Structure 1
Amino acid sequence: MTFSKDIKFNLLTADEQERYQKHLTLKEIGNEGQLKLKNSSVLCIGAGGLGSAVLIYLAATGIGKIGIVDNDHVEKSNLQRQIIHETKTIGNLKVDSARERIKKFNPNSEVLTFAERINPNNALEIIREFDIICDCSDNFATRYLINDSCLILNKPLVFGSVQGFEGQVSVFNLNKKSPNLRDLLPESPSKKAVPSCTEYGVVGVSTGLIGIFQVNEIIKIVLKKGETLDGKILVFDLLNMSMKKLHLKRDILNQQINNLSKFADFYDDDDYCSEKNHKIRRINAIDFHNLYKANPNKILLIDVRENEEFSDSRIEGSISIPLSHLDQDFDLEFIKKESLIKEVFTICKSGKRSEKASKILSQFKIQSRSIEGGIEKVKRILSN
């Protein structure tokens, strides 16, 4: 992963002076403020509904470096709200579709793309290269991962969320006294408490509105002007045209996060927006033990924990392919080939990540079984 060397600009080009003319006439922005925007960098995590509005207005505003993280492809059902994409880009990676649109809209913005899902293995490396992080994700696991990464790296986080006609926007971690997502939601809601994307809809304009408000917060943070939503949450109900501002209290205990490995299972605990319902096959530890003892050569056991976890403890004969790498072509080709002669099993610490791994493999027509209870339970049985 490489980034271009940051260059600080002290002049606007003739094109920029004409393009940003209405900014330059504002006393709150002017030439000095526009240069601050040009010299700033913003990472947008998610190129869907929220991300579409955020990315278009970041480019229009004149943000110098824009990063986009998303591993999804454009689908026709996205176009009702994901306005940065077009009918002709259906099937393309969202990061490629978004980059193409931005460069046509404002060629002055540098666009960096990451066609991968943000995960504990890459989050800190990607996030540390940007000044401000904008959360446009669509599930709680990713939101907590982004939040915790920003705490570790001392990055301001602009948060947005939508459902139906409702939306929320806030600013987290702006300074050492700022609240963060864990002050709002100390623990992730359970899947049963949150409807899936197939169970609820979203009106397209709500993602546009919240996305625009996110960019407005970014502008104020860069310019250091006005009052931001630091310590506050703005809640919209577009159906009834009501709006309220709630205050959020900081808890010092929610600031004490210094690494991501401690929460690996937490970040992988949900998959709220999986629109494809792939059935997960499971096997309990005792039944797996019996199969493993009978014929270990006929088993491909994939440990989907991170590499450092695998180094600490492993089951003999297992191979390490972290969940964050499981959708890479090289690994998928290897698993497909092995699955022709072996039965595939997935395992992790507790069984949560392995379920997710088996779901991913099923999307690529690879049958596997997730081992319930995780590696510790299997090791106890194997040692008896």
Structure 2
Amino acid sequence: MAAHQACLNIDELRLQARRFLPRGLFEYIDRGTEDETALRRLRDGFDHAELTPRVLVDCADRHTGVTLFGRARPLPFVIAPTAAAGLVRYDGEVLLARAARAAGIPFCVSTQSITSIEAIAEAGAELWFQLYVWRDRSLTHALLDRVAACGVDTLILTVDTAVSPKREYNAHNGFTVPVTPSLRGALDVARHPAWAGGVLLRLLADGGWPGYAHYPPQFRTRITDAAAHDPIRLCDRVSWDDVAELRRRWQGRIILKGLLAPEDARRAAGSGVEAVVVSNHGGRNLDCAPSPLTVLPRIMDAVGDRMTVLADSGVRRGSDAAKLLAAGAAAVLLGRAPLFGLAAGGQAGAEHALAILRDELDRTMALLGCRTVADLRL
């Protein structure tokens, strides 16, 4: 039996991932920012939230399926965009896309993935695309054309990252973005030979340090000098005017990811976008941000009857997902959990992570007396 198959929950997959990955890369995925208050608040919020069961309910025919954007899906999950997947395993983005396809759920490709949207599309999964607005808007618009040509119809605009957050632990452990080769980093890699041989050496054999596949050719940098060119740096001038411009240019649906204020949700509902993701970026951005679970009811009151509301951040159990769904989310995005599975066992490990969460959600529903996901909200 492969090691990941013996894992009974996401935390056990996390421990497998910790053993496999260099410390710097693992902590980049696993930890938060500054004092990690937001990260702790996520876990505390889930731990203190209660769901009251109804008993003597026939749940034999229950199912975890939902209809999202007019399409029936077997699970209320989406694999969230994560920039590190291609470093966790060789071809990590492709492996996650295949895991998503096997589960019947969408996979959202990151602007900063090291595998191109064209290559990932060959996996046959339903792909969404996450967008960061670059300082040179014409380059952003050209990327949109490229994404649309791959048949993608759902765009997630990340709106909570005007600047890069402060991750002090990565400065201490030697892992920074851009990646800076160092003695500390080399020793870290040497202590993880399975990752070094299975991931790093294969990437180097492909032509050296990988780059960001969605950057324009003239600015396509390697991860060792990621943000060297001003036109493709994160833009701190993104505004509602950019949302309006995207709405004019993008023919598919648009989802704004990273909202926590009901006032922003109301404005989003009036901007022509189809959905929002209530998110604090997994506790990885603003360290004093509230937990999505605590603000979700207010956002549902503000816009729940006008647009689709999704949620993410900190989900480690199927019962965590159930709590977000009970608070009104139409679906839940999963970031770290699939990455832990990917690290632990490649595509099979990512599939195992999704299977764990599916089973836990199903059990939670049965114990609550819920036949459907919609029943969680009653």
TM over 0.5: no
Larger Rg: 1
Normalising to structure 1: TM-score of the pair?
Answer: 0.27
Higher strand share: 1
Structure 2 length as normaliser, TM-score?
0.27
Relative contact order, higher structure (CA 8 A, sep 6+):
2
